[in-house]
Structure 1
Amino acid sequence: MQQRYRLLELLADGRFHSGEALGASLGIGRSAVWKLVRSLSAMGIDAFAVRGKGYRLASPIELLDRERILAEMDAGTMGLLGNIEILPEIDSTNRYLAMRASEGLRDGHVCFAEYQSAGKGRRGRQWISPFGASIYLSVLRHFGVLSDGPQGLSLAVGVAVASALTSVGVTGVGLKWPNDLLWRGKKLGGILLELAGEPGGPWQVIAGLGLNVSLPPGSAELIDQPWVDLQTVIGHDAMRHGPGVQAPGRNLIAGRILHYLLLDLERFAGQGFAPFRSRWEALDVARDRPVIIKELERQTRGFARWTIPVRYCYRWTDRCEKYCPVI
């Protein structure tokens, strides 16, 4: 992977590079360069060659950079950061941190990846993770107790990510219980919490995020639900507000998300879900909308409701009000 990643560093600017120049930089022959470029398609990267010009990517890629990410954080959140790793390729950032957690990693240990070969979604689903097209990150955090439960923590993480996107000018993002970030009903991102511990605590939590930034067509075809990426969202805003609207870069987005995420994980550890409740209710895309609950072969119609403690519930449309917590 090291040589392939070095090739991507050379091609990331989106310009043509001759096979001879690439070979000289990589210390390989032109035929080896050709094979290396062809291998990029397995990572969801669209690269091509033009006779007499060389090789180029279909569009530039902004590679993740540690210093540019850290530049978006302040002294307070830097104090909450354990360490930051940026990996060119991994099966899953959540799985990677879970494997390394026993090594005594500090709270706030963060793993970013440019590409996931087996990205994890909720309920065993795969998260499509082409190279350099999204934000893939996981954060390790320990909690003595989870007073408002995993559901409350998942919603707090969603609020943190939505706040980060608002801070870079992305508008119209909503949250769908328990882990989806939506824009106009289409999935923009997803959150995956993985917990280990005893019922009464302490808890080890790995909070993972996948956020679509600019998905290539070939990878987008593999997604089995309505989706959207930030490139599309920003393009929509540019049509409304004029061409001066600029798309935020991946490092800016990654840094802001990390800033808000570390801050809000700390806030949740001290105060539970209470500080996030009003923001969540404003972002909840399903609140007061008709829903269908599917339980095996049975379907029940109702309206989405919010109750205390942290549970997402439904009110049946019969004559009485009956609530069903969704775990």
Structure 2
Amino acid sequence: MTQSAPRIERLAEIDSTNEEAKRRLGAGAETPFWISATAQTAGRGRRGRPWQSSGGNLFLSGAYRFSSDPGELAQLSFVTALAAYDAFAAHVLPGAVSLKWPNDLLLDGAKAGGILLESGTDAVGRWLVVGIGLNIADAPDNTPYPALALADRLAPGLNRPHPDDVARDLAAAFESWLGVWRREGFTAIRKAWLSRASGLGEPIVVKGGAEDLYGVFEDLDAGGALCLRQPDGALMRVAAGDVFFPGRK
């Protein structure tokens, strides 16, 4: 799946590509546009968590404007995940890449990237910033889960790609999957995401709420919430949280 992508401006160092994208939106920049950085000094992930920004990795943000409501825009987290999957899958053995709800990229079951979407409104209308961080050269230490980099799992005969090349592939894939979303809606995106999902049909733990939730990852609902089959047989829909796989090392 290939498609031309908007130009990507590469910066040497920035506090956060998401923050820079929002500043440019506030200054009236035309969309879409993409920004990448060699280094970030204040990168962050979901829930304000710091994102370690090692050299040789990818820090990328795209800015778009939509007329969709915020609930619909949240579906673009899955669009972004599919694009990140495509960008990594070209460099590793088949089956090595998978997706973890709600917005993580896995490499042989270990985290290799994350996604942060931010949206808002201004005088022009509703905007969305799509932020992606991918481990290409190395993975962070001291994480609550295993982490790997693309360099750790390259397919035989392939060299580690430059972040610029991965950025171009990812932005082009995002445009293609965005087109699918616009033409066919979330149903097609949901189906594609589930076919790449890690842990589907397995016992999981969802952390981050008032208490841990246990059950089997059964499905995604029509809005992207995780459908968790609980031990008592009840089906719970989970809108946010961090998924862990208790049966895996």
TM-score class normalised by the smaller sequence:
0.7 to 0.9
Cα contact 1:151–1:178 (8 A) shared by 2: no
Question: How far apart are the structure 2 equivalents of 1:92 and 1:245?
Answer: 30
Question: How far apart are the structure 2 equivalents of 1:272 and 1:156?
Answer: 11
Percent identity reads 28
TM-score by length of 1: 0.65
Question: How far apart are the structure 1 equivalents of 2:188 and 2:237?
Answer: 24
What corresponds to 2:150 in structure 1? 230
Question: How far apart are the structure 1 equivalents of 2:117 and 2:106?
Answer: 18
Tell me: CA distance 1:270–1:296, structure 2 relative to 1, closer, same or farther (3 Å).
closer
Tell me: CA distance 1:157–1:146, structure 2 relative to 1, closer, same or farther (3 Å).
farther
Q: How many residues align?
A: 236
> Which of 261, 267, 280 is the matching residue for 2:193?
280
List gaps (5 residues or longer) in structure 1: 1-72, 239-243
What corresponds to 1:10 in structure 2? none
Of Structure 1 and Structure 2, the greater helix share is in 1
Cα contact 1:176–1:286 (8 A) shared by 2: yes
* 1:75-90 matches, cutoff 5 A: 77-78=4-5, 81=6, 83-90=7-14
Aligned-residue RMSD, C-alpha = 2.6
Which fold has the larger relative contact order, with Cα–Cα distance below 8 Å and residues 6 or more apart in sequence? 2
What corresponds to 1:135 in structure 2? 58
Runs of 4+ with >6 A deviation: none
> Which of 79, 83, 94 is the matching residue for 1:156?
79
1:296 Cα offset (Å): 5.3
1:291 Cα offset (Å): 1.7
List gaps (5 residues or longer) in structure 2: 241-249
Cα contact 1:108–1:262 (8 A) shared by 2: no
> Which of 115, 118, 129 is the matching residue for 2:39?
115
Of Structure 1 and Structure 2, the greater strand share is in 2
* Letter matched to residue 149 of structure 2: D
What corresponds to 1:193 in structure 2? 117
> Which of 301, 312, 318 is the matching residue for 2:226?
312
TM-score by length of 2: 0.84
1:275 Cα offset (Å): 2.5
Tell me: CA distance 1:188–1:98, structure 2 relative to 1, closer, same or farther (3 Å).
same
* 1:157-176 matches, cutoff 5 A: 157-169=80-92, 171=94, 172-176=96-100
Larger radius of gyration: 1
* Letter matched to residue 230 of structure 2: W
